[in-house]
Amino acid sequence: MPRYLWFFAILGVSVCCLCAFQGYARAAQSKPAAKSSFLEKVAELRGAHVNSPKSVIFSPDGSVFYVNSLEGGETLVYDTDSRQLQHVIRHRFGREDAGLFLNGEDSVFGYTYMRQADSRCRNCFMGKPVESVLTHNGRYLWVSFYRRDYDQWAQSPSAMAVIDTATNQIVRVMPTGPLPKVLAASADGKKLAVIHWGDNTVGLVDIASDSPADFTYTEHLIAGTKLDTSRLAGKRRDAACGLCLRGAAFSPDGKSLFVARMSGGGLEVFDLEGKESPRVVCRDISVPRHLVLSRDGETLFVSARGTIHALPVKDLQKTGATVHGRSLRAGSGLRTIALNREGDRLYAVDNHASTLSCIDLKQWKILKTVSVPRYAVGLAVSPDGKTVVTTSQGKNGEGGHVVTVYAVHDETPRGDDSQQKKDAPPQER
């Protein structure tokens, strides 16, 4: 073939290839961008103040979320949109803070001090914040202290702070029994339950008034036998805790209080009208940890080891009734669970597997599971359902010490995106 024909042949092929490439490029440009994951990680919050973050809770309007930094002795206030740290509430008290302790109160229910740093100032301490609850339409944030820092074995009375969310200032510090964890408020906003992990008891507080100065303890409830803390020096209190009471929820009518027995199994049911003695139900539920009431108040959700249980409230309240619930395997070391606003999805963090799962409550199945930083323990869902925040504690100097923020997208979630090993060591309960 003459050379000039080869030239035109090669030119023709080149033009065809160029046209094909341009067509492909235009198609790629017009193709819609791929949707983000249903649970998209948008931030990991770290820093000097994020020291073993234990729990998280959103304000009622969702504008901020509060993180309890257990070992830092601080409650951190973050802006939800910018995810910037707005305020640090320090739980360190000295003689200059005496006014926060009404009439100098340092104990309740006759609890005595086994150990104190300064007998002249029992209320001089750093509190280790564990859990929180909001009352009075979000006006007051209550924060429980695992222990006073000088009470090494959590044998003595601890305390809880009442924070005015309008100013982010502590307005009162109230004494508690040993090692309080979960705080639960009744639906009518008149009662607060303080769950004492440390000695099988619960303190009830009358919070009907709008003034913190009027908040008053009314009852001291006991599950089984009150634990003698005088003999627990040198004991690891995460395990030496009797029944290890933790999760709690009031019935919608406020007549019953349900409390999880992590060590004893089952739920303790307290009749708050005083007509019946405390009783135990669902003993076959092993290591129940966190309790959440459904939006309609008809179902109590329980996280227990790797299972989510859904229990009818009417059966739990009725003495002698058989509790007909259902269960869903959702992990291996579940910790906190939280509902979205509509109440049709339940989120759960797994401390062992380092995962976050979303459960469709109507279909009663896991929709999505994603990886989270190691030692996940705390969890909260924003009021609009668009943001999920988890907290991960550190352990033995490894992992954790991070608050993770996820954006929730409207697409239908599918599958398991987790990459973490399923045998990660457990964390504090």
**Mean pLDDT, rounded, for 210-234:** 97
Query: Would you say residue 204 lies in a domain?
Result: yes
Look at residues 246, 235, 234 and name the one whose alpha carbon lies nearest to residue 146.
246
Give pLDDT, residue 120: 80
Residue with tokens 């805790």: 241
Q: How far apart are the C-alpha atoms of 42 and 406, rounded to whole Å?
A: 5
Residue 416 is predicted with a pLDDT of 65
Is 109 inside a domain boundary? yes
Tell me what pLDDT residue 397 has.
Answer: 72
For the cut 90, the answer to whether the pLDDT of residue 428 exceeds it is no
- Predicted TM-score (pTM) above 0.75: yes
Instruction: Give the 3-state secondary structure of residue 229.
Output: helix
Q: What is the structure's pLDDT at 119? A: 74
Q: Is residue 417 included in any domain, yes or no?
A: no
CB 291 within 8 A of CB 260: yes
Mean pLDDT of 179-204: 98
- The edge-to-edge listing of strands for the beta sheet with 74-79 is 53-58, 64-69, 74-79, 85-90
pLDDT of residue 411: 62
- In this predicted structure, the answer to whether residue 315 has a pLDDT above a threshold of 60 is yes
Structure tokens given for 141: 């944030």
Q: Is the pLDDT of residue 18 over 90?
A: no
Cα–Cα nearest to 146, from 182, 111, 173, 114 = 182
Distance of CA 8 to the CA centre of its chain: 73
Q: Tens digit of pLDDT for each residue in 36-85?
A: 468 999 999 999 999 999 999 999 999 999 999 999 999 999 999 999 99
How confident is the model at residue 17, as a pLDDT?
42
Give the pLDDT mean for 94-118: 92
| SS3 category, 100 | helix
Q: Is residue 424 in some structural domain?
A: no
Q: Is the pLDDT of residue 355 over 90?
A: yes
Q: Evaluate whether residue 191 is within a structural domain.
A: yes
- Dig out the tokens for 180 from the structure: 């309080």
Comparing CA positions, the residue from 159, 174, 158 lying closest to residue 100 is 174
Give the confidence band of 417 by pLDDT, cuts at 50, 70, 90.
Answer: low
pLDDT at 28 over 80: no
Structure confidence at residue 309 as a pLDDT band (50, 70, 90): very high
Q: Which residues pair with 39 in a beta bridge?
A: 408
How far apart, in whole angstroms, are the C-alpha atoms of residue 372 and residue 406?
Answer: 10
Residue from 355, 399, 405, 401 nearest 54 by CA = 401
The answer to whether residue 313 sits within a structural domain is no
Return the percentage of the chain with pLDDT > 70, whole number.
Answer: 87
| Token pair in block for residue 81 | 């949109």
Tokens encoding 299? 């179902």
* Residue 205 belongs to a domain: yes
* pLDDT in the model for residue 394: 78
Least confident of 2-11, 125-134, 184-193, 312-321: 2-11
| 358 in any annotated domain | no
Which has the higher per-residue pLDDT, 26 or 301? 301
Q: What does the pLDDT read at residue 90? A: 98
Taking the alpha carbons at both ends of the chain, their separation in whole angstroms is: 84
The count of structural domains within the chain is: 1
Rg, C-alpha atoms of the chain: 26
Q: What pLDDT, on a 0 to 100 scale, did the predictor assign at position 7?
A: 43
Domain of residue 180 covers 91-242
- Is pLDDT of 338 > 80? yes
User: What residue has token string 């708050």?
Assistant: 272
